[in-house]
Structure 1
Amino acid sequence: MKKSLFFVLLCAVWLATPAQAQKFGYVDSEFIFGKMPEYQKALSEIDKFADKWSKDIQDKYVEIDKLQKAYQAEEILLTEDMKRDRQRAISDKEREAREYNNKVFGYQGLLFEKKKELMKVPMELINRAVEKVCIQKKLDFMFDKASDFVMLYTNPRHDYSDYVMEELGLDIKPTATNTNPINKTITKPK
């Protein structure tokens, strides 16, 4: 009897409280980034750093290749100690090149840190604009269509990308986006 009375009271309280709908929307950050000059500038800076570091690593491998060819040409003239010394020098240079490659392009390497540093400004601009739009439009949630979060269906009426771009002072006309993910890995030349 107590349980059924409790259940009836719980249902009455639940029905008495007004249901509040939560408003949500989404933006396409990839599209917005494609329109942002700050983002394009950051991408070109990242490319410059990546190209410079790639050249440095290629130069290291070219030097290793020269050492190997010189060793092969002189191998028959060298003593066993000299051979070991040359082989050790070559393997040390190879190890240095691999370590530098990992330091630059590896997990949380120099390129990763440079990306994080250079993308900070465009990300902050978008985040502030999204926050303003959410406050203006009284939204509870804002999703990013371009993120790893899977959105199987999106109704265009919930797309707030134009409002965010307007907040950023960007042109709203659609154009082809230029995505340029930078995933470079340097390999030894053959």
Structure 2
Amino acid sequence: MKINRYIGYAGVVALLVMTTTTAFAQRFAYVDTEYILKHIPEYLSAQKQLDALSVQWQEEVDNRFAEIEKLYQSYQEDQVLLSEAMRRKREDEIVNREQEAREFQRQKFGFEGDLFQERVKLVKPIQDKVAAAIQRIAKDQGLDIVLDKGSEVTFLYANPNLDKSDAVITQLGYKPDPSLAEN
């Protein structure tokens, strides 16, 4: 009985060792998508377009709030001279303009707002091309896992030999530029 128990424990230990060895046999690599995207002219162009839209829309938001501030200051100056009905009318106008400005701001910059939609339209196809290139390299090189150095994965140490970013850039038809690396 004791021998069977020891053989059972030995079998479990052997299985654990084989499983652990198999787990360590996986091939890992990483890429830096931020570095890769810096090499793609379409991405840089898309970013410039998005930045210009953002600046334009922010100026519109700022102008709307500046107008509201002027209305409020004018109201403060005239408040003593206004009847109750006129005061309410001006207050309502200020409140309505402020709500409209906030709604405009939400439409442009809010979750799934116009800026988000433009980003999806301009950047997603480029990101899809990068993802496809990463998948091709992973299959060609027999990699099991490819991590993104730029995402929320924290690297305490990463062997530069595992970095496949330049291979992805080449796969996309561009020439890697080491001066763009952030190391």
TM bucket normalised to smaller? 0.7 to 0.9
Cα deviation, residue 118, structure 1? 1.9
Q: Which amino acid aligns with 1:65?
A: E
CA distances 1:115-144 after superposition (whole Å, capped 9, x unpaired) = 233210111111011011101111001011
Cα deviation, residue 29, structure 1? 1.0
- Counterpart of 1:142? 146
Structure 1 residues 12 and 171: CA distance shift in structure 2, 3 A: closer
More helix by share: 2
- Counterpart of 1:154? 158
Distance 1:107 1:69 in 2: 32
What is the DSSP-based 3-state SS (H/G/I as helix, E as strand, rest coil) of the residue aligned with 2:178? coil
Q: How does 1:5-24 map to 2 (within 5 A)?
A: 5-10=7-12, 19-20=21-22, 21-24=25-28
Normalization by structure 2: what TM-score?
Answer: 0.84
Distance 1:168 1:3 in 2: 58
Q: 2:94 aligns with which of 82, 87, 90?
A: 90
- Counterpart of 1:38? 42
Distance 1:54 1:14 in 2: 59
What is the DSSP-based 3-state SS (H/G/I as helix, E as strand, rest coil) of the residue aligned with 2:180? coil
Distance 1:39 1:10 in 2: 52
Structure 1 residues 118 and 91: CA distance shift in structure 2, 3 A: same
Normalization by structure 1: what TM-score?
Answer: 0.81
What is the number of residues matched between the two proteins?
A: 178
Q: Which amino acid aligns with 1:93?
A: R
Question: Quick check: 1:30–1:177 contact (8 Å CA) kept in 2?
Answer: no
Identity over the aligned pairs, expressed in percent? 33
Q: Which runs of 5+ in 1 are unaligned?
A: 179-190
Q: Which runs of 5+ in 2 are unaligned?
A: none
What is the Cα-based RMSD across aligned positions, in Å?
2.5
- Counterpart of 1:101? 105
